[in-house]
Structure 1
């Protein structure tokens, strides 16, 4: 019984060592660079299979979903992206304006200021639902994927450009406009 167990142990060790030596000599070959969209991409069995990051990078498909980006000048602060987000990683705060404040690149009229527009990429599940519902297409998925950090708070990206003074001033303008509107109704 002991002899049989010993023979099985030695046989298993030799098989493992042979496999290791075979991979050692196969690693001298460089793995061919193939486009990830090819059907045979995952069938490469020979050569070094690791990518030497950051010198080498994996090819990224055109429809990849990685880092979110917002073109705040095109945002009409409609809040649809935050409502569509299943994990609530988008935080938006809007300030109303008494008149139109401008137009987006597609001609949509802007009537709200973006006081806060934060995206917490630590919470994001990269589903892309926020990009689908955006009427002005100002929120997009980029091909940036290497945003490594040791602090989760570094993954909260703020896209709003208003200062605290600007926010207070815009809120005051809206309050004044509402008061004037109410006063005009009473006359």
Structure 2
């Protein structure tokens, strides 16, 4: 019995010595180093806790964080939405009656983006959408702190087209298609007579 009590005291003293050693050794904060720094894992002393948001950890260059879309470069090809494994990208396109313009890499734009929404609450940050994009308009930024109280705030709307503008574009396309069909019918009808 006495031997057990002695072992208990020895164990408690060892634990206290270890704890107090860490407390007194941690008198200053660690220097924040990038993960690419060769001495990143050699940091053995200092306080581990950083004073967030005043001090932030460096973001790796290849990190996967917040998605962003440069709509001027988007050709609304829908490849990003098709490749997304969690279906967090929602795109609605309207065909243009003529070429809209060109992207920064010279690709001709022929579709309007009536809707281009990304639900970051669903996103699993795989980066597949950025890889498949032919104009590289969808990218992952270094922004990672997107704390929201309402889940609907996690859906980012990149299209700046209003519902009225989208309806106007749809009507113009329907009118053009009706004119083309009428012209086609006019050509076919005389041949049959």
Give the TM interval when normalised to the shorter protein: over 0.9
- Paired position in structure 2 for 1:145: 144
- Paired position in structure 2 for 1:104: 103
Higher mean displacement: 38-47 or 97-106? 38-47
**TM-score normalised per structure 2:** 0.90
Is 1:164 matched with 2:127? no
- Paired position in structure 2 for 1:173: 172
- Paired position in structure 1 for 2:89: 90
CA offsets 1:50-103 (integer angstroms, 9 cap, x no match): 221111111112221111000011100000111111111111010111111111
- Paired position in structure 1 for 2:120: 121
Structure 2 distance, partners of 1:39, 1:131, is 29
**TM-score normalised per structure 1:** 0.93
Unaligned runs of 5+ in 1: none
- Paired position in structure 2 for 1:27: 26
CA offsets 1:129-170 (integer angstroms, 9 cap, x no match): 111111111100111111111222111100000001001111
SS at match of 2:94: strand
- Paired position in structure 1 for 2:77: 78
- Paired position in structure 2 for 1:37: 36
Unaligned runs of 5+ in 2: 187-193
SS at match of 1:73: coil
**What is the count of residue pairs matched by the alignment?**
186
Structure 2 distance, partners of 1:149, 1:67, is 14
Higher mean displacement: 62-71 or 28-37? 28-37
The higher radius of gyration belongs to: 2
CA offsets 1:5-55 (integer angstroms, 9 cap, x no match): 444433333222222211111110332332210233123111111221111
